[in-house]
Amino acid sequence: MLYLCPELHYESLMVVKIYFSIQIVIIVLLALSLIYVLFFAIAAYFYRFPKIAEDKVLKRIAVLFPCYREDNVIIESIKVALLQDYPKEKFDVIIIADSFLISTLEIIRTLPVLLFEVEIENRTKSKALNYALDHIDESYDIAVVMDGDNQMSPGFLDKINAVFDGRTIAVQGHRIAKNSNSSLAILDAISEEICNNIFRKGHRAVGLSSSLSGSGMAFKFDYFKKLMRKNTAVGGFDKEIELELLKEGIAIEFLSEAIVFDEKTNDSKAFVNQRRRWFAAQYFYFRHDFFSSLKLFLFNGNFGYFFKTIQLIQPQRILLLGAVFTFSPAFLLLNYFLHIHTILSTIWLSLIVMCVFSFGISVPGKYYSIKTFLALRYLPKGLFLVISSMLQLKGVNENFIHTKHSYNKSRAK
């Protein structure tokens, strides 16, 4: 038939070429992301905890909790922070409380902390932190930033203190899940550990800077104060800090043994709002910094800053997972039924193997359990929620979005 109808033969060839072209484009996009993930997932196994001086000097530390309506979790977080086995005269817990209940404030006033009660117009975390920095003295050596739900593990401040040896400017602690009381919380916890492995351990193993998490992070105090003075971020203030550090050629350290317990959300709406804020920040700073980072890379050799902007457009783990396990089986089946047996089918299979292997070696062993297996049933809904959050980005960087926390059980013991 194709031989007798040249026009049909031509049109069929065109359809086949388009079909192959679509496959190739999707394969290239997925392969680039998977190669990135695989490389740093393997590199993470070569990560080494930074050397710590034995004759360390005890520095003065300001532990800052910028909080908005965190009445459900802040009291427990404060109590855990005060249990740190670091000399009491060497650290202060500082609470910046925005829109708290009177009853909560009364309890906080009975605790040995510094409390700033604020009502910030057009509130942002940057404004809350700057308010505190304007009202505390200059005698601190290190600033530690926490979220209201964060709980420091024993020895956290001692490990942070030890790594600030005069050359260190910024450090990211190891955030892990405080709760695993829902499928969504478990998947969120696994996602964060994958990030810790790839974007923190993996990056540091090859000499790149660790990514910041937004909390559980520490900075040289005077440098942090200088950075915050020009930080105007509505969302993603940590991204702005990270990019400014990298612009100046300063690498961020990662301390895998300095653990902070972080609450993972159980609420779908809160999950979507959180992702909206993250996506909006990533795309905003990619657009804002890409060309300046490219310029510094080409003319000053600043690879770290440029590489960070590339990282900002990496697809979320669940999106990459969803894309691989949607397109690969679909094209494998189509190729089979159309009797198109090409190297492309082998590549699709390779992408599935690469994806499973990369994420598999990035997940801590404790998550290989029946509980996790059952939580995987929630993956399609999780993917739907992430896609939903991507479709609701309009105006996100213009308004403060709060993630409500409610899980109060202590893990830092």
pLDDT digits (tens, 9 = 90+) for 134-176: 999 989 999 999 999 999 999 999 999 999 987 899 999 999 9
pLDDT of the residue at 10: 52
pLDDT of the residue at 165: 81
pLDDT of the residue at 11: 63
Start-end of H helices in 230-314: 237-247, 268-300, 303-311
Q: Which residues of the chain have pLDDT under 70?
A: 1-11, 52-55, 341, 390-413
Mean pLDDT (the chain, rounded): 88
Question: What is the set of domains in the chain, with CATH numbers?
Answer: 61-311 (3.90.550.10)
Give the residue carrying structure tokens 């505190």. 132
- Rounded Cα distance, 252 and 5, in Å: 65
pLDDT digits (tens, 9 = 90+) for 206-223: 999 999 999 999 999 999
pLDDT of the residue at 405: 60
pLDDT of the residue at 54: 62
